[in-house]
Amino acid sequence: MTTYTFPSIVPATNTFELISNTRTFQSPLTNAVQTVGRKGSLWKISMQFNNLTGADRATMQAFLAKLNGQQHRFYVQDHGYRRRGTAPNSADPLYVSGGGQTGSTLNAAGATQSRALYLMAGDYIGFNNELHIVTEDCSSSSLGTITIPIAPPIRKPTDSLDPIDYNYPVLGVFMLTSSASWDTSPGLVSNFTVEAIEDVLA
């Protein structure tokens, strides 16, 4: 298996969906409902590329064929995302502070010290081949540490000092949900729909 970088072609539409791994149980006697959250929540993406011609059309055809269905993986971004936080564009050496972390909060270090709104709700971060969205604004401490509320919950226990990517674009590791196809109109104009899910084992 190889992980490729998605072609630099901007989709006409881009849909990101967080699929939560939750289960609901309802009592047949009282109708009371209990919900349990589990590890394994993941992102699903759908991208529509319209009226591609020439080099863009050929590049997309070749890339989708190269993936060979679900054999290979690819890095891709949320094209509807722009970072909001004040973290510097030059990129701090932000890293995971402490191994074995799980849950919906990540402890990090290496940030610019005492920076308000270092990351803001809606920003993405990536680490350990996992893509997460920041759920609350957070600021760095005088020591450059930062506690980051995130979703979905961490899937694999963290490794200390693992680098954290926060700079645009933040990439996730995805695989196709089905075989690749496209439709073509006269004049060699093609439309592509790419649907993929995050690889939880990446």
At 155-184, the pLDDT tens digits run 999 999 999 999 988 999 999 998 888 998
| Cα 52–chain centre separation | 25
Range of the domain at 100: 82-168
Q: How confident is the model at residue 36 (pLDDT cuts 50, 70, 90)?
A: low
Pair (70, 27) in one structural domain: yes
Pair (35, 11) in one structural domain: yes
At 79 the pLDDT is: 92
Pair (103, 40) in one structural domain: no
Pair (114, 188) in one structural domain: no
At 169 the pLDDT is: 87
Pair (30, 104) in one structural domain: no
Q: How far apart are CA 62 and CA 65, in angstroms?
A: 5
Written as six digits, the tokens of 94 are: 């932000």
∠ Cα 200 70 158 (to 5°): 20
54 has pLDDT over 90: yes
> How many structural domains is the chain composed of?
2
How large is the average pLDDT for residues 37-45?
A: 81
Q: How confident is the model at residue 200 (pLDDT cuts 50, 70, 90)?
A: confident
Cis omega before residue 163 (within 30°)?
no
At 176 the pLDDT is: 96
Pair (115, 160) in one structural domain: yes
Contact predicate 60/182, CB 8 Å: yes
**The 3-state secondary structure of 104-153, one letter per residue:** EEEEEECCCCCCCCCECCCCEEEECCEEEEECCCECCCCCCCEEEEEEEE
Comparing CA positions, the residue from 83, 168, 155, 91 lying closest to residue 122 is 83
At 106 the pLDDT is: 98
24 has pLDDT over 80: no
How large is the average pLDDT for residues 122-144?
A: 96
Residue 58's SS3 state is helix
At 98 the pLDDT is: 94
Pair (86, 163) in one structural domain: yes
Tokens 């992980």 -> residue: 3
Pair (144, 98) in one structural domain: yes
Contact predicate 91/167, CB 8 Å: yes
At 38 the pLDDT is: 62
Which of 36-54 are b and which e, b meaning 16 or more Cβ less than 10 Å from the residue's Cβ? eeeeebbbebebebeebee
Pair (113, 176) in one structural domain: no
Pair (162, 177) in one structural domain: no
Domain holding 147: CATH number? 2.40.30.290
The per-residue DSSP string of 7-36 comes to: PS---SEEEEEEE--EEEEE-TTT--EEEE
Which of 23-35 are b and which e, b meaning 16 or more Cβ less than 10 Å from the residue's Cβ? eeeeeeeeeeeee
Q: Tell if the pTM clears 0.85, that is, is over it.
A: yes
